[in-house]
Structure 1
Amino acid sequence: MKRTLPFKIKIVFVLILTFFSQSGLHAQISAPTFAFTKICASPGFNTYTVNFSFTGSNTYTLEMSDPNGSFSSLTGITILSSQTTTSPGSFTFKVPTSTAGQNYKLRVRGSSPSVIGSSSSAFPAYYQAFDQPFYLNNKASNIGICGSGTVTLSVDATAPSPVSIPNLKYKWFKDGVVISGQTGSSLIVSSTGQYQAFLDYGSCSTFDEGQVEKSQKVTVSVISSSTTFNLSSSIDPPNDVCPSNPTVLSTSPGYSYKWYRNDVEIAGATANTYTTAVTGNYKVLVNAGSCVSPIYTNTIQVNGFDFNLTFPASQSPSINKIQQGETFAVTVTTTATNPTFEWYAPSSTTPVSTSDTFSTDTPIDGNYKLVVKQTSGCVFSKEILFRVGFGINPTQIPNTISPNGDTVNDLWEIPNEYLTTEYEVLIVDTFGKEILKTTNYQNNWPQNTIEFKSVNPIFYYVISKGGSPVKKGTITVIK
């Protein structure tokens, strides 16, 4: 006997087939695909795109899991643009500033009809809220610890600084090895080593010199009352050091330094190394902080290789004066081995002479230059600057000058014997107004243009030594 289904049951069966036809066949969603392997967002970049395929029309939404891959608690991404009309679809989005974890996932949800697509594979994602270098302990490079004491290394709060951003994690290194369990913005140190902090952005970090978000390196030294410092030379023994290959003198890093040559402090030498080829006895005064008094290192004698160079004329800033029709000529002598000579006119890059002699009867204003080079053994050069000009080297004190710019008698030039700190030169005008008062006069008056209120103004001079006048007279200025 053939049985038939009741009418109501047929209706329910048709509805079930219709539902599965719509939700299964026409609402399938693939797992999102994307080109990135990790998200390393920052204030300067935060745009990412995923693609997905689907069947059937629906209202699609992109979801991002929590850092552990769970979709029960979603990460609040922001959709920047989307294409969900035709398959394949896409979403462009940005992540929130709180993003930080290794196992995020993405999926697409349809809301009408309700359907959830497959999730993507896990990937790391971090928002790099601070992407600049930062500093420790007021940019210190060296810190000393007394005996069994400690020092706290802390990230400076002076802007720009990551300490103003909450929830950031740090990774600390000692001598290039990570210090386990230290994730805060400060570190208590009790042992010698070189320390550095990095911002920890997980897989978005490199923890090496290429990472931007890192501190300077700080050398911490433990100091005791028995601490000593040794001075060494990169050339041993430092005898006949060539200027083209100087020695590097060095002592322990991590402190403050003053360098001395022949017991005279070397201005500006404050590092733990000093490069030199100059003959002398060198030592360093090391200041290791409050733990011990400043300590001198041992002394090292450096013998710098040198050659003698005799230049029988005045060097700059003095001017070698000649008269019209005369020739300035100079011949140098040297103890350099196989020397070469190059003479340069002012502003010239091509030598005007390559012998040991130079001459000119048409001097150019400015510095001439002589370069003498030793070409065998220790190869290095010496340089001399000199000037040549028209005029008269005075043997007597002149009583007239003509500052008209022709370089002849433009300045009041007096004998060299008065051009020292022993003599004071005073010049006043006819009203007794002081025009010039100086010691170590440099034959450089007048430096400014003289205003001719009369035809030929007259000035009075007094040259004194030890407070007593030795020369007096007048100077008439002629146009």
Structure 2
Amino acid sequence: MLKPTFLTQFLYGICLCLVTMTQRAHAQVVIGTPNLGFTQACASESFNTFNTTFIFSPESALNASNEFTIEMSDADGDFSDPTIIHTTAAGSVTTSPATIAFSIPETTAGENYRIRIKSSAPVATSSRSVPFAAYYKIQDSPFTINNLVSTGAYCAGGSYLLSIDNPGNGNNDSPLLYPSLTFKWYKETGPTTFVFVADGPTLSVNTEGTYFVRTNYGTCTSDSFSNRVTISEAVSGEANAAIVSSLGNPYCPEQGLTTLSTIGGLSYQWYKDGNIIVDATSQMYQTNESGMFSVQVDLGDCSASGSIDLVSELFDSTINVPEFNEMSSEESLLVTVTTTAINPEFTWYLNGSIIIGATEASFEATEFGDYEVSIMQTTGCMTSVEYLFSIEEALDLFPEVEHIPNLISPNGDSINDTWIIPTTYVSGTDTEVIIMSNQGKVVLQTKDYLNNWPENDLKLTSINQVYYYIITTSDNKTKKGSITVVK
């Protein structure tokens, strides 16, 4: 074998360097500036998908394990502490140009975000994208301020504080429940125009006008805004204190208590139908009644007052029978309810069970027992009223008996409790009935006997008591005898 010369060694070295340089060139990739598929990233719970497209070269430089990562800057475009918002699966992106979808974090809020693309094998980083506005609208529905009261007033030289309600009235989704949110207040300058006033969850107003507040989502459009409130200065020391009902007016009491709210002040006193409501001294008052409610508000150096004619949608109704009723087994009882309910539905019950087919306002009862009728209003306020009544078998006060009894036992068992005599001697026969004690004291004397003695407690002891009777008919025929009363 020939010994290598210096020249051959030099040529071998040059070839080795060329191979190494070629391999290094193939291991590098260049990533272009990402192009945005949007002008603003306005995300919400229902939408949070955005696209970016970028080129890279050469495609052959990518390792099979390569991952592309999308990084997002802070709100000022700074990448010193970037947020990774998407990473592709290893080897899933191999051709250029490439389009990748991503979502923004819920804490995103600003006008100058940027993104960039990074590869992992080989390692490379693109330039920054153009700046863009990005907001995640964590709360994107209307909310209330001033307890939904549309007015407010301040004394001369004073101010009125407007606040975002938390939690507010009804289904109000207060943005104060989301600590990351900020707010901007505006004053109307025309029917469709307004100017920015201040930032923050509250606004102190000392200039008359109409105000509202929006959640700060920058240039992104949003439904997160409040109701309008008109603020005025009290004239001659007196202002109007508007009152609103949380359940509306008229309101449905089936939904619970309605909350009456008025303008803000230092102290309050509520009235109903002109009468003071004891301890009703807060800005809000809850009720389930109808009536003329009013309020006096102390604003400091002046005052305000207001009223509302509150109407409940609870309907009126009546029933034509008392709670307790009696009838004989051969009789029936026609029960009728009347009502002002809209499209009412009637349900009748006997002893807790629904009476099949009884769906009208009237029902003819033929059985003894405990009854209930329910009236349901099916249009508007879905409310109901129930009536309870019972039917018992009537006692026959004048049954046919053959003989005058000489023994009774008034112990409340409905058997032989009173002295029942033949019908020829009772009420309507002009017969005089006298009952005397064993000492000769008259305890009953009547020509209208109703088979109802004794009506009062005789204070019986363990010893049976004996009474005497004298029955004198209209033709002066007389019957006499004794009555033994046993305990």
Larger radius of gyration: 2
**TM-score interval for Structure 1 and Structure 2 normalised by the shorter chain:** 0.3 to 0.5
Q: TM-score, normalised by structure 1?
A: 0.47
